[in-house]
Chains A and B, each alone.
Chain A
Amino acid sequence: MVAFLNDPFTWTGSLLRSWLEGLGLAPDLVTFLLQVVGAFVLGTTLLMLTFILIWAERKIVARIQDRLGPNRVGPYGVFQTVADLLKLVTKELITPTGADVIPYNLAPLLAVMAVVGVWAVIPLAPTLIGASINVGVLYIVAVGAIGTLGIMVAGMSSNNKYALLGAFRTVAMMVSYAVPMMIALLIPVLLSGSMDMETIVEAQSPIAFIILAPFAALIFFVSSLAEVGRAPFDLLEAESEIVAGFHIEYSGLKFGMFFVGEFLHAFTISALTATLFLGGWQGPWAELYPLLGLFYFIIKTSIVYFVVIWIRGSFPRIRIDHINNLNWKLITPLALASLIVAAIAEKVATEFGINRLGIHVGANAFLFMITLAAIRLNARGARSRVKANSVNKSVAASSGSSPGS
């Protein structure tokens, strides 16, 4: 019983293994079966988690907007999502005329699969990880981007121009925001010296990477928000412009799968931010009691998820040209500069034995000042341009001629 409380994951695993081997199965087959069971449990837990996520999001956004939110079904409306699901299940599954049937039905699966697949390499607790592979960070990038593929396939197989427009917007945005996200991901890799997620978490044991590399954390968070397509970057489903975006032709449970994928993706980026920059399961006594590590991980992820919802409730949607400007003119150069600064600071700290924390924080503060100065210069230039234009216009209007371009 004490063993169970100390480390329930290893305990359950070894219990199952000894039971299966007692049945006379080969050790390889037992490993395979245990992995299948683990994947099944993880996937089901995540999909069930969506019920709570959707409820929490609706409740929090409602409070931000001074409403009550769902409050009829169950205490505080907890079972509202279940009722919604039942409604979705009863709806007819419509396949539009001229749709490409197989890709059309494959797209929702791809969207959910990409999100659930990422969780395989996230260390949930000191002894609890789906697959400990040595290229975990790269795996996240590779599998996460399959979601983009799902959206693209949904848009082009629906035989609907709004769906196609939504898909094009997605690709324009997701592909360009993947660039700063990848560069920002390189910084934890550089600081910990490994692409293994477990090593990255262990390397954050005295100080979390958000203190060593605040810029990288911010860039990763913002660009993965864009990657998910959450507000304020949610123009791939801007209702006022392109009706509903790529999933306009989907109904019933197929629409529900896109919906689940979207909410779960937001939670996934929260978990990734918590793992890569906030220390994952690190916390007091987490090494001794893995269950406590899982608790810390969930707390950190929930805090980041709350920030995601908070941003959704507070910011208006950004126009598409502004989104791409922000990416290519601010975030990508900043990510590159931050990577160079982190590399130099790390090298200096190891070569000359200077305090690692001090030099990283100092370098980032220096970068912050430069960025602020650059933004200020840019804003001043834009303001003077606008002023000159308006002066020109008023002169032209008073002289009675047509305003020049």
Chain B
Amino acid sequence: MLTLTQIVFLVAAAITLLASFMVVTCRSMVHAALWLIMALAGVAVFFVLLNAGFLAVVQVAVYIDAIAIMIIVVVMLTRHSMGIQDRQTNKTWWAAVIAALLMFGGLVLMFTQAPLLGAEAPALTMGSEALLEELGLALVDVDRYIVPFEVASVLLLTALVGSIIVAWPGRKSQDLEDQS
């Protein structure tokens, strides 16, 4: 007999896996991006089931609102490059299938060695409010995770500046386009 949580999990898992399968097989890039959004939303549901509501909301805010919209914009900007009638996969796609299957088999084999596979989730000692506060304090605590946190922020700044420089339509590329 399945409980309500289990049913939610199974539905979310089915949707996530179907959507991610469509992402890698869809011929149209626009559809692939929309399936990607659905897969990301499925992962957000898992986060909610795992008592990590904060991460679920961040997942929606970062992945769906920022990353997915940016990907869709770029898909629309480059839509003349590869049509849906073009070949979508490499000549060596069969090797990719084998690699993916090997990876899946290896991961499952490795995880069967892991302890506590059938473990139930232990009861949380803190409420959701305290969990959130703990996470926030851990991120700015000098003895704990302030260095990764700061490195991540520097990384974001670097990516911001770097992507502007890379995508800037400078004079050089204009000249190159004129020549070609």
Contacts and interface: CB of A to CB of B under 8 A. Distances in A.
Nearest to B128: A134
Contact of A148 (B30, B54, B65): B65
User: Which range contains the number of A residues in contact with the other chain?
Assistant: 20 to 34
A139 B57 contact: yes
Interface string B1-45: 000100000000000000000000000001100100100000000
19 contacts: A28-B4, A100-B30, A134-B54, A135-B53, A135-B54, A138-B54, A138-B58, A142-B60, A142-B61, A142-B65, A145-B61, A145-B64, A149-B37, A149-B64, A152-B69, A152-B72, A153-B34, A167-B76, A196-B129
A236 interface: no
Interface in A156-180: 156-157, 164, 167-168, 171, 175, 178
A164 B76 contact: yes
Nearest to A157: B30
User: Closest 4 interchain pairs by CB?
Assistant: A145-B65, A142-B61, A142-B60, A138-B57
B139 interface: no
Contacts of A139: 57
A175 B54 contact: no
A28 B54 CA distance: 23
B72 A156 contact: yes
A103 interface: yes
A135 B128 CA distance: 10
B141 to A, nearest CB: 17
A196 B4 CA distance: 27
A133 interface: yes
Interface string A134-152: 1100110111011011001
Contacts of B31: 100, 103
Q: How large is the interface on B (under 10, 10 to 19, 20 to 34, 35 or more residues)?
A: 20 to 34
Nearest to A172: B73
B78 to A, nearest CB: 13
Contact of A146 (B34, B65, B72, B76): B65
Given A138-B57, A138-B58, A142-B60, A168 B73 contact: yes
Interface of A: 28, 32, 100, 103, 133-135, 138-139, 141-143, 145-146, 148-149, 152-153, 156-157, 164, 167-168, 171, 175, 178, 195-196
B67 to A, nearest CB: 11
A134 B73 contact: no
Contact of A134 (B61, B64, B76, B132): B132
A98 B57 CA distance: 35
Contacts of A142: 57-58, 60-61, 64-65
Given A134-B53, A149-B65, A171 B34 contact: no
Nearest to B136: A195
A119 B64 CA distance: 20
Contacts of A138: 54, 57-58, 61
A133 to B, nearest CB: 6
Contact of B53 (A133, A152, A171, A178): A133
B5 to A, nearest CB: 10
B97 to A, nearest CB: 28
Given A145-B69, A152-B69, A195-B132, 17 more contacts: A133-B53, A134-B53, A134-B129, A134-B132, A135-B54, A138-B58, A141-B61, A142-B60, A142-B65, A145-B61, A146-B64, A146-B65, A152-B73, A156-B30, A171-B69, A175-B69, A196-B129
Contacts of B65: 141-142, 145-146, 148-149, 178
Contacts of B66: 175
Contacts of B76: 156, 164, 167-168
Residue with the greatest number of chain A CB neighbours at <10 A, chosen from B30, B69, B132: B69
A156 B4 CA distance: 38
A132 to B, nearest CB: 11
A357 B39 CA distance: 47
Contact of A149 (B4, B54, B61, B69): B69
Contacts of A167: 76
Interface in B118-135: 128-129, 132
A400 B118 CA distance: 90
B159 to A, nearest CB: 15
A135 B57 contact: yes
A152 B72 CA distance: 8
Contacts of A156: 30, 72, 76
A135 B132 contact: yes
Contacts of B69: 145, 148-149, 152, 171, 175
A168 B34 CA distance: 17
A365 to B, nearest CB: 30
A404 B30 CA distance: 46
B34 A103 contact: yes
Interface string B135-157: 00000000000000000000000
